[in-house]
Amino acid sequence: MGQVIPLFLDCDPGIDDALALGWLFCQDDVEILGLAASGGNVSTDQVVTNTLGWLQLASRTEIPVHPGAQHPLAGVSEYAEETHGDTGVGYAQLPAGGNTADELSAAEAWVRAAHAHPGELIGVVTGPATNLALALQLEPRLPQLLKRLFVMGGAFNYRGNTRPTTEWNISYDPEAAKAVLDAFGEADHLPVIGPIEATEAVALTPERLGQMLAGPTTPQWSAWLAQLAEALRFYFEFHESDGHGYLAHVHDPYVTAAAVAWARKQPESSSPADEADVDSSAQETHGIIPWAHKTEKAAVDVELFGTLTRGETVADWLGRWGRAPNAEIIRSLDADAFLDHLTDTLRKGPHHHDPH
């Protein structure tokens, strides 16, 4: 195996976050330094419980889970139980009591991971940006310490999935999202944003889920997938009730996988996992970001005060603000190629960690 990619994931499981975790468990060359459990889909305490449960079910309890902030930077929490269920995992039944959260807070864990791997750490945020914003208060040099930041969030000139023009992760804590985007505009590699107008194309169907469940795998991974299927059953029902059909938009696995695949393409990561584990579809794209058909750099800001639009992400496509771009936005992606990769990856399951 070649060079290991250090990664820190800030997530709020959440059903598509669980899919992202499952994908990560299957990557030989990724060292998950820690998981920040962020309040958002459900309360922070419940997210911690969910994250610990998914890790225990996968026998990955060596990965530290760091409790995130209890509330957004400037307001009271507003959760999404109607989307992910009362416990945040749909109909899944996860084990409890086998492992505990790390004492280090999520913000402190971000800083520790960045200092442990300066210039190498890949940061991924698939939940609200609260913890990373707090980490920036502790260490303003984080944009220079990370190799690159990938964010699932935002809706640009597109209908929202929370309020008419807002996406959930940004809407939950707009102040945090703004703080992160303002700071990371100074990074060597601009942060990558996967907004819902791109990631909604990654639509998981019951047929694809059936393909995941049908693959050759271990009894333990089969049990993990069985609970994932129960979580997704709730997600399918929610999307159907929301007018999208019996399917699930799974935003987080794409942004997570794109982050890792991008890191593999960098010169110092030219010898990743075995060739059999590297999906060629990630390399056959028109731009730099794997599986992306089109990306665009722009100055991005977050609306904080609009009575109808608080939490909306605004991109200055024409440069009318006179500001330098502070983000690279995924505009469209090859959803079918990525779904093929995701399906095949989860069907095979992890093969490099012995049960313990």
> Strands 292-302 and 313-316: what pairing?
antiparallel
Alpha-carbon span 86 to 88, nearest angstrom? 6
- Helices 130-138 and 106-116, packing angle to 10 deg: 60
Sequence letter at residue 330:
I
Residue pair 176/150 in contact by the 8 Å Cβ criterion: no
**CA-CA distance, 195 to 152, in Å (whole number)?**
6
First to last CA, the chain: 22
Instruction: State the DSSP code for 304.
Output: -
Contacts 24+ apart (CB under 8 A), 277-283: 277/27, 277/28, 277/29, 279/341, 279/344, 279/345, 281/334, 281/337, 281/338, 281/340, 281/341, 282/257, 282/258, 282/341
Taking the C-alpha atoms of residue 228 and residue 23, their distance in angstroms, rounded to an integer, is 12
Q: How far is CA 255 from CA 177, 260, 344, in A?
A: 16, 9, 17
Choice among 66, 117, 251, 341 that is catalytic: 251
- Tell me the residue type at 266: Q
Helix (H) or strand (E) holding 73: none
341 an active-site residue?
no
Spatial CB neighbours of 356, under 8 Å, sequence gap ≥ 6: 59
CB atoms inside a 10 Å sphere around CB 76? 6
H or E segment to which residue 314 belongs: strand 313-316
Q: Catalytic amino acids?
A: 251
